[in-house]
Amino acid sequence: MASLRDSFAEVLHRVGKEDPNLVVLVGDISHFRLQSFAKACPGRYYNVGICEPTIVNMAAGLSKVGFHPVVHTISPFIIDRSFEQLKLDFCYQKLGGNIVTVGSAFDYANLGCTHHCYGDFAMMKTLPGTQLFYPATEVEFETLFRQVFNQGTLNYFRIPTYGHTHEFKSQQIRCGKAIRIQEGKDLTLIAVGSQLRTALEAMEPLSQWGVTVDLIYIHTVEPFDAALVNESLFKTRKCLVIEEHSVFGGIFDDVLRASHALENVRYASIAIPNNFIREYGTYQQHCQRLGFSVEGILKKVKDELLNYSEVLNNRLSP
């Protein structure tokens, strides 16, 4: 199966052939993957160098003269290192552009803190008008990218190394709209990006517990689909969010803000604790340790969401 990074390169190739204003700037990442774009779109591909703030800054200059720039490199080098360029050169000046990163959260598990980035959505949400996406399949990326890349907004796409395998049709994907994957009445499970994979795996054991799940999938972090979330919480009054992001400033915060007027709702979250990840190992090991697992979901549901009486009534057999 092609990686999402390969898919990203193929999508740029397709869209670049259609739109002569698409220009790609990279910081020496995915250089070989993007050669098909470079050949098909001469003069519109630049491996600028290892100088991310300048890449972002010059992309804003390209936008100023009418291009639709795509800046691509590893998440922390754009979001953390080049934040002021995103804020001032793009966002404040209302210039449109596209940031497409790999290596968000802990995808580069064993490379340590320098290559981790799990506060990206929190930081980017402070930039008014910015649109944030976490597409975890090719069809999601291509559909969302085509919807927004030339619309004059600053768009951040975080592309995971490990996506999910749920199949969407492009007609299902709309910027700013969450997707109800499964209807249920006992629990709202909100899965963001790649963690739809884990959420889907948890459906069977939750079903065995007698818990019917309203499964909501979020590919667009901003604008946040408060309407669908509230509709679901109004029904279930129980909510678990699973997201590969810091416990601060992710989708869980958006859910709380959107639904605070609803009474008697229980909330739980599986996210990255407010602490540096200092371990190495693999992505899968990080997931297991941090609770991004079926066991993690079941434990949260049992410990924080279901009524004690329900446990006593033996609905659960963990």
Partner 1 sequence: MMIMNIELRKRIVELITNAGAGHIPSAFSIIDILAYLYEHVLKFDPKNPHWADRDYFILSKGHGCAALYVILKKYGFISQTDLDEESREQAMLGGHPDSTKVPGAEASTGSLGHGIGTAIGVALGLKIRQQKNKVIVLIGDGESNEGTVWECALVGANLNLGNLCCIIDHNGSSAQIMKIEPLKEKWEAFGWEIYTIDGHNEKEIAEVFKKIKFDYTAKPKVIIANTVKGKGVSFMEVHGPWHYRAPKAEELELIYKELDSHQV
- Applying CB under 8 A, the residues found at the interface with partner 1 are 23, 43-44, 46, 48-49, 51, 53-54, 56-67, 69, 84-85, 88-89, 92-94
For residues 93 and 165, which CB has a smaller minimum distance to partner 1 in the complex? Answer: 93
Question: CB 254 → partner 1: shortest distance, Å?
Answer: 27
Question: CB 149 → partner 1: shortest distance, Å?
Answer: 16
For residues 92 and 276, which CB has a smaller minimum distance to partner 1 in the complex? Answer: 92
Question: CB 150 → partner 1: shortest distance, Å?
Answer: 15
For residues 81 and 177, which CB has a smaller minimum distance to partner 1 in the complex? Answer: 81
Question: CB 52 → partner 1: shortest distance, Å?
Answer: 9
Residue 272 CB-half CA count within 13 A: 24
For residues 85 and 220, which CB has a smaller minimum distance to partner 1 in the complex? Answer: 85
For residues 90 and 134, which CB has a smaller minimum distance to partner 1 in the complex? Answer: 90
CB 244 within 8 A of CB 195: yes
Neighbour-count burial of 105, counting CB atoms closer than 10 A to its CB (0-12 exposed, 13-18 middle, 19+ buried): buried
Single-letter amino acid, residue 37: F
CB 241 within 8 A of CB 270: yes
Provide the b/e sequence for 40-60 (b: ≥16 CB within 10 Å).
Answer: ebeebbbbbeeebbebbbbbb
For residues 84 and 279, which CB has a smaller minimum distance to partner 1 in the complex? Answer: 84
Question: CB 60 → partner 1: shortest distance, Å?
Answer: 6
Query: Using the 8-state DSSP alphabet, how is residue 135 labeled?
Result: -
Task: Please report the DSSP string for 238-261 in residue order.
Answer: EEEEEEEEESSSSHHHHHHHHHTT
Separation between Cα atoms, residue 111 and residue 240, nearest integer Å = 30
Residue 88 CB-half CA count within 13 A: 8
Question: CB 236 → partner 1: shortest distance, Å?
Answer: 44
